[in-house]
């Protein structure tokens, strides 16, 4: 089942593609919790404007009508606002789980969902370590809802609507630039920042990068997630498939032949 | 069937084959039986719920949440149902590859059982799809998610159903009196068997591999990188326990279908199967101990989930394993059946622990299936039994072909 059917092997001369992964860098030391990013997102994607109040330590979640949320955490350094949305992993579990390539890692970086391919099996939701994809349970034509980093804007050269709406806490650029910027900020103000960029390594590296004044556990991040990518977990199994497919039938045929010779065919059984 | 009928069958052309099939569609035997009285309303209620679900969405009849997107329909119908269908690949391996002729009389019924289990339980997967009209995407078209374990499992389900249909097809040909077709189909059996065993090995383990990426969501006592091997090994005794269970029921319900010779041989078959079950369960139990020690899971034992794990391991693996050993030493068929039932309950518990109970065990709100999910599941099981009974009453499955 690992045949690459449908891929073209035409010997066309390819122009080297220099497209890099893009990232959003969220600096929680700068976020004031104004939620313009939430409102801009709702407006751009046709969801109802978020009306629930932002209360300290009341965890709001993304849902099938909300792709990104801001939460208010009380920490050892006072209140800190954090944005929660799709992490756009470099090697996304959801995309490797998808049996129709509906969840798809684009070369620009966003992980997008393609409705014309999706069967609605929700294996992406089972696999995502961040519990990001949401499903419209009450629809006869349900969609998987999650942030797509405004992919349609991105390919037109515009920046995601949340980053455009935000003052300076959420900035957008190539992943390389954003990582450099994050490390620069930590280096320049070591007192203001916890010395780690969340997203640099977690789950094999993500497209969302976070800076924080306090350890990330205080902001409700799951810091127990592995740094290895999640698709690597099922790699061993998938790689064993071709060998089993070759070796097992040969073995079975061998045994069949071996047992055949010492037992004459009985007339009852064939 | 008497001799005149056989003679008529030989003369039959294409149109009369159709007439024969139509006449076979009619019910045979009594209508008012306890099973019918219970199953018919549930099947219709389930059907109604399925229609309702396709209009108002999956959430309208299930309790699934954004955190627990796979519930009873996947965890029980598909994952557990397919484990119980594992008897087919084990028994075909024994009979066609190892040539253990003793088990020949149960091959057909086991393959039929396996085939129907796949059609219905893997078919139940369709009920769980939000966008089922796109189900052709991984089969045809340019949307192959080859990095997905689910892609592999889906293809293996389809191919395996085909393999089992080929394995069973001689019985259909005999039923229709198509001698030439039977000869051709019988010749394909060994190929289908080899193909089928290979597919089974891969997708029985593949069902476990589906959950490999959910590393942080499944309770550590049930999650390990060895889930695929655990699922494969346990499918051996899950399938055989199902064969024992189904066999003892068939022996009673379809008494008149089974010849005296086969009925006498049945005890020997049960003893043999219980030996294999005990062996496979020992391997499974040993693997679990290895994984437990290797993953240093001691600190989880003294907790509710830990006690639950011990209950599963001791009460539903170790205990039935010892019962199987006791049974074949004492040639006691009653304890074999008891052991088989305990084993089956254990398999249900195990599969649900991985897929539902242990999945997001730490979530504030737990998923508990709604009565409607349970009804649909029961409707699927009852429909399968109806078809199974229909086939048994007509085709040469339990009895030898008359012509």
| CB neighbour class for B33 (10 Å; exposed up to 12, middle 13-18, buried from 19) | exposed
pLDDT given at position A264: 56
User: pLDDT of B287-308, one tens digit each?
Assistant: 999 999 988 778 888 888 999 9
pLDDT given at position B402: 60
Please judge whether B152 and A238 are an interchain contact, meaning their C-beta atoms are less than 8 angstroms apart.
yes
Low-confidence winner among B37-46, B119-128, B369-378 (lowest mean pLDDT): B119-128
Alpha-carbon gap, residue B123 to B85, rounded angstroms: 14
Distance from CA of A190 to the nearest CA of B (A): 32
The mean pLDDT of B279-285, rounded to a whole number, is: 95
Please judge whether B195 and A249 are an interchain contact, meaning their C-beta atoms are less than 8 angstroms apart.
yes
Question: Quick one: how many helices (H) and strands (E) in chain A?
Answer: 7, 9
Please judge whether A97 and B143 are an interchain contact, meaning their C-beta atoms are less than 8 angstroms apart.
no
Choosing among B92, B143, B261, which should be mutated to test the A contact, i.e. which has the most A CBs within 10 A? B143
pLDDT given at position B27: 73
Please judge whether A236 and B225 are an interchain contact, meaning their C-beta atoms are less than 8 angstroms apart.
yes
Does the beta carbon of A136 lie under 8 angstroms from any beta carbon of chain B?
Answer: yes
Residue with tokens 């992993």, as numbered in its chain = A89
pLDDT given at position B6: 46
Q: Residue A85: left if φ>0, alpha if ψ -120 to 50, beta else—which one?
A: beta
The mean pLDDT of B344-364, rounded to a whole number, is: 91
The mean pLDDT of B165-186, rounded to a whole number, is: 89
pLDDT given at position A229: 92
Please judge whether B145 and A120 are an interchain contact, meaning their C-beta atoms are less than 8 angstroms apart.
no
Please judge whether B197 and A252 are an interchain contact, meaning their C-beta atoms are less than 8 angstroms apart.
yes
User: pLDDT of A85-103, one tens digit each?
Assistant: 999 999 999 999 999 999 9
Q: Are A230 and A240 in contact (CB under 8 A)?
A: no
List the 219-238 stretch of A: residues with Cβ below 8 A of B. Answer: 222, 224-226, 230-231, 233-234, 236-238
CATH class, A22-89+149-219 region: alpha beta
Q: CA angle at residue B250 from B248 to B251, to 5 degrees?
A: 65
pLDDT given at position B45: 95
Choosing among A203, A234, A244, A261, which should be mutated to test the B contact, i.e. which has the most B CBs within 10 A? A234
Low-confidence winner among A9-13, A81-85, B183-187, B196-200 (lowest mean pLDDT): A9-13
pLDDT given at position B333: 87
Complex ipTM over 0.85: yes
Alpha-carbon gap, residue A31 to A90, rounded angstroms: 25
Q: CA angle at residue A65 from A60 to A71, to 5 degrees?
A: 20
Tell me: pLDDT of B95 over 90.
yes
Distance from CA of B60 to the nearest CA of A (A): 6
pLDDT given at position B7: 43
The mean pLDDT of A108-116, rounded to a whole number, is: 92
Average pLDDT for chain A: 87
List the 187-216 stretch of A: residues with Cβ below 8 A of B. Answer: none
User: pLDDT of A27-73, one tens digit each?
Assistant: 999 999 888 999 999 999 999 888 888 888 888 889 889 999 999 99
Tell me: pLDDT of A269 over 60.
no
- Which residues of chain B does A226 touch, with a Cβ-Cβ cutoff of 8 Å? 215
Low-confidence winner among B13-27, B94-108, B256-270 (lowest mean pLDDT): B13-27
Of B69, B101, B129, the CB nearest to A126: B69
Which of the four pLDDT bands, split at 50, 70 and 90, describes residue B12?
A: low
Choosing among A103, A114, A137, which should be mutated to test the B contact, i.e. which has the most B CBs within 10 A? A137
- Which residues of chain B does A135 touch, with a Cβ-Cβ cutoff of 8 Å? 58, 66, 69, 130
How is chain A split into domains, by residue range?
22-89+149-219
User: pLDDT of A177-221, one tens digit each?
Assistant: 999 999 999 999 898 899 999 999 999 999 999 999 999 988 888
Beta bridge partners of B218: B359
Of A97, A98, A139, the CB nearest to B57: A139
pLDDT given at position B258: 81
Residue of A nearest to B74 (CA): A121
Nearest residue to B233 via CA among B285, B308, B165: B285
Containing A260, the helix (H) or strand (E) segment is helix A232-261
pLDDT given at position B1: 41
Nearest residue to B398 via CA among B302, B276, B304, B263: B263
Of B54, B125, B205, the CB nearest to A140: B54
Residue of A nearest to B195 (CA): A249
Tell me: pLDDT of A1 over 50.
no
Of B57, B154, B193, the CB nearest to A142: B57
- Which residues of chain A does B197 touch, with a Cβ-Cβ cutoff of 8 Å? 248, 252
pLDDT given at position A16: 66
pLDDT given at position A2: 47
Tell me: pLDDT of B10 over 90.
no
Tell me: pLDDT of A265 over 60.
no
Please judge whether B212 and A233 are an interchain contact, meaning their C-beta atoms are less than 8 angstroms apart.
yes
A105 phi and psi angles, rounded to 5 deg: -85, 110
C-alpha distances out from residue A74 to A61, A80, A166, A192, A213, Å: 17, 6, 22, 16, 12
Residue B380: partners with Cβ closer than 8 Å, 6 or more residues away:
B46, B77, B120, B121, B123, B124
Residue of A nearest to B185 (CA): A270
Pick the CATH number of B42-394 from 3.40.50.10490, 1.20.1270.360, 1.20.1630.10, 3.40.630.10: 1.20.1630.10
Of B101, B130, B143, the CB nearest to A266: B101
The percent of residues in chain B predicted with pLDDT above 90, rounded, is 59
Q: Are B270 and B240 in contact (CB under 8 A)?
A: no
Reduced to 3 states (helix: H, G, I; strand: E, B; else coil), residue B236 is helix
Please judge whether B155 and A249 are an interchain contact, meaning their C-beta atoms are less than 8 angstroms apart.
no
Residue B58: partners with Cβ closer than 8 Å, 6 or more residues away:
A135, A137, A142, B64, B128, B130
Give the 3-state DSSP-derived string for B155-217, with helices as H, strands as E and coil as C.
HHHHHHHHHHHHHHHHHHHHHHCCHHHHHHHHHCHHHHHHHHHHHHHHHHHHHHHCCCCCCCC
Which of the four pLDDT bands, split at 50, 70 and 90, describes residue B14?
A: low
The mean pLDDT of A139-161, rounded to a whole number, is: 91
Of B62, B134, B206, the CB nearest to A119: B134
Low-confidence winner among A4-8, A253-257, B213-217, B373-377 (lowest mean pLDDT): A4-8
User: pLDDT of B55-92, one tens digit each?
Assistant: 999 999 999 999 899 999 999 999 999 999 999 999 99
Alpha-carbon gap, residue A253 to B76, rounded angstroms: 34
């Amino acid at each position: 089942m690992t045949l690459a059917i449908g891929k073209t092997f035409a010997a066309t001369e390819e122009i080297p593609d220099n497209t890099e992964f893009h990232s959003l860098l969220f600096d929680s030391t700068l976020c004031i919790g104004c939620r313009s990013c939430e409102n801009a997102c709702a407006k751009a994607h046709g969801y109802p404007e978020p009306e629930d109040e932002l209360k300290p330590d009341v965890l709001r979640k993304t849902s099938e009508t909300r792709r990104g949320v801001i939460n208010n955490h009380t920490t050892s350094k006072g209140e800190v606002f954090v944005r929660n949305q799709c992490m756009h992993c470099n090697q996304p579990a959801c995309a490797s789980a998808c049996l129709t390539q509906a969840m798809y890692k684009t070369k620009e970086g966003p992980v997008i969902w393609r409705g014309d391919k999706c069967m609605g099996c929700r294996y992406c939701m089972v696999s995502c370590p961040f519990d990001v994809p949401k499903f419209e349970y009450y629809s006869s034509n349900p969609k998987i809802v999650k942030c797509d980093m405004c992919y349609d804007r991105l390919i037109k050269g515009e920046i995601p609507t949340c980053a455009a709406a935000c003052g300076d806490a959420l900035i957008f650029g190539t992943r390389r630039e954003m990582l450099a910027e994050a490390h620069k900020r930590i280096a320049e103000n070591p007192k203001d920042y916890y010395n780690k960029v969340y997203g640099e390594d977690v789950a094999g590296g993500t497209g969302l990068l976070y800076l924080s004044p306090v350890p990330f556990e205080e902001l409700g991040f799951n810091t127990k997630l592995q740094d290895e990518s999640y698709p690597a977990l099922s790699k061993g199994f998938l790689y064993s498939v071709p060998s089993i497919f070759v070796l097992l039938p040969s073995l079975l045929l061998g045994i069949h032949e071996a047992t055949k010779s010492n037992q004459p065919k009985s007339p009852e059984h064939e | 069937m008497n001799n005149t009928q056989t003679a008529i069958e030989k003369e039959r052309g294409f149109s009369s084959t159709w007439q024969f099939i139509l006449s076979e569609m009619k019910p045979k035997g009594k209508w008012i039986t306890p099973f019918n009285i219970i199953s018919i309303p549930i099947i219709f209620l389930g059907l109604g719920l399925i229609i309702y679900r396709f209009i108002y969405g999956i959430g309208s009849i299930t309790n699934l949440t954004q955190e627990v997107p796979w519930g009873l329909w996947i965890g029980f119908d598909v994952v557990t149902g397919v484990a119980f269908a594992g008897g087919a690949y084990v028994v075909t391996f024994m009979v066609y590859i190892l040539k253990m002729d003793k088990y020949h009389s149960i091959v057909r019924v086991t393959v039929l059982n396996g085939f129907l289990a796949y059609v219905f339980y893997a078919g139940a997967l369709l009920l769980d799809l939000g966008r089922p009209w796109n189900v052709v995407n991984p089969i045809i078209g340019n949307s192959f998610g080859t990095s997905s374990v689910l892609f592999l499992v889906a293809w293996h389900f389809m191919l395996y159903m085909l393999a089992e249909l080929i394995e069973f097809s001689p019985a259909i040909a005999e039923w229709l009196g198509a001698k030439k077709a039977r000869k051709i189909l019988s010749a394909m059996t060994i190929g289908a068997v080899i193909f089928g065993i290979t597919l089974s090995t891969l997708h029985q383990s593949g069902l476990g591999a589906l959950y490999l990426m959910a590393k942080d969501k499944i309770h550590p006592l049930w999650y390990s990188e060895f889930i695929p091997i655990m699922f494969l090994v346990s499918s051996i005794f899950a399938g055989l326990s199902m064969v024992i269970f189904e066999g003892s029921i068939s022996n009673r319900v379809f008494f008149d279908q089974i010849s005296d010779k086969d009925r006498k041989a049945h005890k020997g078959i049960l003893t043999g199967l219980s030996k294999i079950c005990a062996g496979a369960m020992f391997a499974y139990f040993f693997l679990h101990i290895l994984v437990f020690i290797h993953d240093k899971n001691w600190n989880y034992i003294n907790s509710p989930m830990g006690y639950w794990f011990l209950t599963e391991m001791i009460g539903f693996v170790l205990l039935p394993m010892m019962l199987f050993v006791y049974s074949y030493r004492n040639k006691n068929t009653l304890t074999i059946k008891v052991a088989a039932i305990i084993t089956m309950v254990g398999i249900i518990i195990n599969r649900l622990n991985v897929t539902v109970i242990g999945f997001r065990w730490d979530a504030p709100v737990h998923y508990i299936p709604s009565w409607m999910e349970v009804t649909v599941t029961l409707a699927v099981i009852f429909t399968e039994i109806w078809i199974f009974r229909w086939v048994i009453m007509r085709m040469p499955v339990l009895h030898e072909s008359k012509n």
